[in-house]
């Protein structure tokens, strides 16, 4: 079934647009509807302007940098740690621009805040989490301060590192590594990170939402044309066969289909509401459901995992002579956490699974759901209200999360092995595809919500993009 749908979709995209075709009319009408809603039009245009501003900032270089030396360094390590950090910075790192650190300090600060709240270590943070909107604003402010602190530390480390990193060409990256240059560059990098954080928050508040994710998404998608052109050039130069290129395309298409298939899957727990008489009217008696997504965390688990995993690699990369009791610790870390090593894959997969469960534990509370259902007269068929319902929801959540976490871990690790074995461009890694597909689905869903709320059709004639559902006993 899915193969036939894919074939029809590819044929639909491959043919020229015909204004007299009803399918093309529906597609063009859906796109034009976005700009017919004044509020949605402003959000979309504002988001596009923010993305343009971010891409412009990613091209502004830091003064005193030898661009040729930087290019030679990234050409030699494009599939390693520097390639990954460059992916998250949207290509700013390989240009040594003012946005070179990207949004990683903000992500790290968010991870620390989430861990502190989830572990209930600081009572003050727990009180803020229960204070509603005001508490959320205070937590956001603390996260911003943490971003500045982490950004200052990372910017100083990055600045000192680029003055010592060896390049294949032997040309130093920094022309004049004086202390005044180090202070100026460090301040510039921190300011760039804070500006990216502000741009992302503006997209969340005034744009179409998911600001930080869209910032990362735009940086990854920006690499897509270059990756495709590099494959085409290799085929034209006969360094790659046409069969290899077609195989690579088929693998990418298959991974995309599988990711979309799972990202839209959900487990629906049926909920019945008892009838009750209020005066002369009867209320209740309806049947609803509680949706639980297979991948509840979306791209958050992947981003958090890569952020944590990059910490030891960053230290080892920027301190290659680091030893402990005479043991070359930095060298061993680089070997253990190499993108193609077994240890790297196992640690990465474990972190993805951990953060999938951790995200669900702080965003999904079965006890509160069961209590609210009991107050409103709802119940799960065959399950007693109250604690039994809470235990049942918790059991289903754990089983669904396990399947989703294992899938995300597999997609994050396995395509990277194929990419390394086939020497494919870095873009075609599992992490990149998970982020791109996850953010794209969330963004399309939000736009469709705006359209349908104002009595417009979604991107599909039948309605909005819907999640598929299945049963787990």
Query: Could you tell me if residue 246 is inside a domain?
Result: no
Domain count, the chain: 3
396 Cβ partners below 8 Å, 6+ apart? Answer: 267, 269, 292, 472
Say what the pLDDT of residue 469 is: 46
The residues near 81 (Cβ < 8 Å, ≥ 6 apart) are: 310, 313, 314, 317, 339
- Residue 444 is predicted with a pLDDT of 81
On whether both 52 and 114 belong to a single domain, the answer is yes
Tell me, yes or no, whether 303 and 449 share the same domain.
Answer: yes
Whether residues 4 and 115 fall in one domain: no
| CA dist 94 → 101, 167, 214, 225, 256 (Å) | 11, 13, 20, 17, 27
pLDDT of residue 196: 92
CB contact set of 321 (below 8 Å; sequence gap of 6+): 330
Same domain, 363 and 336: yes
Say what the pLDDT of residue 415 is.
66
CATH code for the domain of 350: 1.10.3370.10
Phi and psi based region of residue 213 (left: phi greater than 0; alpha: psi -120 to 50; beta: remaining): alpha
| Four-point Cα dihedral 175, 181, 187, 190, nearest 10 | 20
Burial-class residue 281 by CB neighbours within 10 Å (0-12, 13-18, 19+): exposed
Q: At what angle do helices 104-119 and 179-206 cross, to 10 degrees?
A: 70
Radius of gyration of the chain (CA): 25
pLDDT confidence of residue 319: 60
Quick one: 26 and 140 in the same domain? Answer: no
Domain for residue 228, yes or no? no
| Same domain flag for 177 and 317 | no
Beta strands in 236-362 (DSSP E): 265-273, 276-278, 281-283, 287-293
Same domain, 296 and 374: yes
Residues 279, 387 share a domain: yes
| Cα–Cα distance, 408 to 404 (Å, whole number) | 6
Residues 212 and 281 in one domain: no
Same domain? 468 vs 355? yes
What are the residue ranges of helices labelled H in 164-299? 179-206, 211-221, 224-236, 242-263
62 is a domain residue: yes
Give the helix, strand, coil percentages of the chain, each rounded to 5: 65, 5, 25
Domain containing 64: what range? 39-222
Domain assignment present for 82: yes
* 198 closest CA partner among 54, 56, 49, 45: 54
pLDDT at 81: 59
Q: Is residue 247 part of a domain?
A: no
In a domain, 248, yes or no: no
| CA pair distance 373, 387, nearest whole angstrom | 11
How high does pLDDT run on average in the chain? 76
Domain shared by 300 and 382, yes or no? yes
Query: Low-confidence residues of the chain, pLDDT below 70?
Result: 1-33, 75-84, 118-119, 166, 168-169, 275-285, 313-341, 415-429, 454-473
* pLDDT for the residue 416: 65
Same domain, 370 and 402: yes
Phi/psi at 210 (nearest 5 deg)? 55, 50
Say how far residue 275 (Cα) sits from the centre of its chain.
Answer: 43
Instruction: Report if residue 75 sits inside a domain.
Output: yes
- Residue 8: what pLDDT? 44
């Amino acid at each position: 079934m899915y193969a036939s749908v894919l074939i029809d979709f590819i044929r639909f995209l491959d043919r020229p647009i015909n204004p007299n075709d009803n399918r093309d009319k529906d597609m063009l009408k859906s796109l034009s509807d976005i700009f017919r809603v004044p509020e949605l039009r402003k959000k979309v245009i504002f988001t596009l302007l923010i993305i343009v501003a971010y891409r412009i900032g990613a091209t502004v270089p830091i003064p005193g940098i030898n661009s040729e030396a930087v290019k030679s360094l990234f050409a030699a390590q494009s599939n390693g740690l520097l390639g990954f950090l460059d992916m998250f910075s949207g290509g700013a790192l390989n240009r040594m621009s003012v946005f070179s650190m990207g949004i990683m300090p903000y992500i790290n600060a968010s991870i620390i805040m989430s861990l502190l709240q989830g572990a209930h270590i600081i009572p003050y943070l727990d009180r803020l989490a229960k204070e509603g909107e005001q508490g959320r604003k205070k937590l956001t402010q603390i996260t911003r301060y943490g971003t500045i602190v982490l950004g200052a530390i990372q910017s100083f480390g990055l600045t000192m590192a680029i003055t010592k990193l060896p390049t294949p060409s032997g040309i130093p990256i920094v022309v004049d590594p004086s202390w005044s240059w180090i202070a100026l560059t460090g301040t510039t990098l921190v300011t760039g990170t804070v500006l990216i954080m502000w741009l992302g928050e503006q997209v969340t508040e005034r744009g179409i939402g998911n600001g930080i994710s869209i910032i990362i998404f735009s940086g990854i998608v920006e690499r897509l044309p270059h990756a495709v052109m590099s494959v085409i050039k290799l085929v034209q130069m006969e360094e790659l066969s046409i069969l290899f290129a077609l195989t690579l395309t088929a693998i990418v298409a298959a991974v995309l289909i599988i990711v979309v298939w799972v990202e839209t899957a959900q487990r629906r727990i049926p909920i019945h509401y008892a009838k009750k008489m209020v005066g002369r009217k009867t209320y209740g008696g309806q049947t609803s459901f509680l949706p639980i997504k297979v991948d509840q965390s979306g791209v958050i688990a992947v981003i958090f995992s890569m952020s944590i995993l990059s910490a030891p690699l960053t230290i080892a990369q920027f301190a290659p002579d680091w030893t402990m009791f005479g043991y070359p610790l930095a060298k061993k870390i680089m070997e253990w956490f190499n993108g193609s090593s077994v240890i790297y894959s196992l640690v990465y997969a474990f972190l993805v699974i951990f953060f999938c469960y951790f995200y669900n534990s702080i965003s999904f509370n079965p006890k509160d759901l069961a209590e609210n259902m009991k107050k409103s007269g709802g119940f799960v068929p065959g399950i007693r209200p109250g604690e039994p319902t809470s235990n049942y929801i918790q059991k289903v959540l754990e089983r669904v999360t396990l399947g989703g976490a294992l899938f995300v871990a597999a997609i994050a690790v396995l395509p990277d092995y194929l990419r390394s074995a086939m020497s494919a461009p870095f873009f075609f890694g599992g992490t990149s595809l998970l982020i791109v597909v996850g953010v794209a689905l969330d963004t399309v869903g939000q736009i469709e919500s705006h359209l349908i709320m104002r009595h417009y059709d979604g991107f599909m004639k039948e309605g909005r993009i819907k999640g598929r559902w299945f049963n787990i006993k």
